[in-house]
Each structure stands twice: as C-alpha cells, then as structure tokens.
Amino acid sequence: MAKRPLWTRMDAATRHGATVVAGAEVPADPGVFAVYRQGEAMFLGRAPADGGLRERVHDRHLATGPDLTASAFRRNVATRLKVADVDEVRSRPLTTDEVTRVNRWVAGCDVAWLTCADDDEATTLESALKAEFRPPLTKR
C-alpha cells in the first residue's frame, strides 16, 4: 500500500460520534473533515471560513432533518443505500422511512477534522488528501 502521510494525520485526529458531537465542540474555523464508518474513511469534505467546520459538519452533514439537499454526504449515503439517486434527492421529498434509513446510517459514523488558517490552506489540504486517497462517498 502506498504511503499516505496526510491521511495518517487525518486518521490520527480525534474522532467524534455523529450522534454525540455537539455543535459547540466543532470549531468555527475553516478546515477539512472526514467521516468514518466502522473505522474506514467514507467521505472527505472542506469547510470554508464562512461558516467553518461547525456549520458544514454539524449543521449540514450530521443534521437529521428531512432535507438532504444541503449535504453532499447525506445525498451520497442515500445513493449508497439505494434510497434515491442524487437527482431524486434534489427533485423530490424523501419519505420518512427513506430519511430514517439515511439518518441511521449516519448515526453509525464518526467525524474527525483538521483546522486550517484560511480557505486557501483548507482547499490545498483537501486536494492533497484526495490525491492520496478518495473515500468512496466523495464524488468530487
């Protein structure tokens, strides 16, 4: 296996359970985050300075509401579970059962993050992490 020094750093970051991490625990700084399921990185994302990690991770990706359109992670989970493809998630409301299936899967995840000084650093770090390894639910 090829060495992945940046992923080694991300993998070593403190992980927080999706259902127990409080918004106040997540920094409002820009940065990069990874969502893990059963110890495996499943999704990688970047949070810009505007809103930062707290808004991106806690308020969007770990949200449990019925609208999945603001979260690429939750849309991709819906696709993985064969609940709905990305276009369907964007074009029709999901049923309560479909949203529950997505939320249950997300509830079994952990999230870790690395803060950055600014948007440029976060963008560079995200690109470098993707060059080393692109998690299966990271589409872009």
Query: Residue 97 is part of which domain span?
Result: 5-132
Return the DSSP state at 108.
T
- The residue with tokens 């399921």 is 37
33-86 pLDDT per residue, tens = 999 999 999 999 999 999 899 999 988 889 888 989 999 999 999 999 999 998
Residue 2 pLDDT: 67
Say if 57 falls within a structural domain: yes
Say if 138 falls within a structural domain: no
User: Residues near 128 by Cβ (< 8 Å), separated by ≥ 6?
Assistant: 6
Say if 140 falls within a structural domain: no
Say if 18 falls within a structural domain: yes
Residue 104 pLDDT: 95
Smallest CA-to-CA distance from 34 within 67, 57, 55, 60 is with 57
Token pair of 60, please?
């969007």
Say if 30 falls within a structural domain: yes
- Model confidence at 119: pLDDT above 70: yes
Say if 137 falls within a structural domain: no
Task: Give the SS3 label for residue 54.
Answer: helix
Q: Number of folded domains in the chain?
A: 1
Say if 116 falls within a structural domain: yes
- The residue with tokens 């820009």 is 30
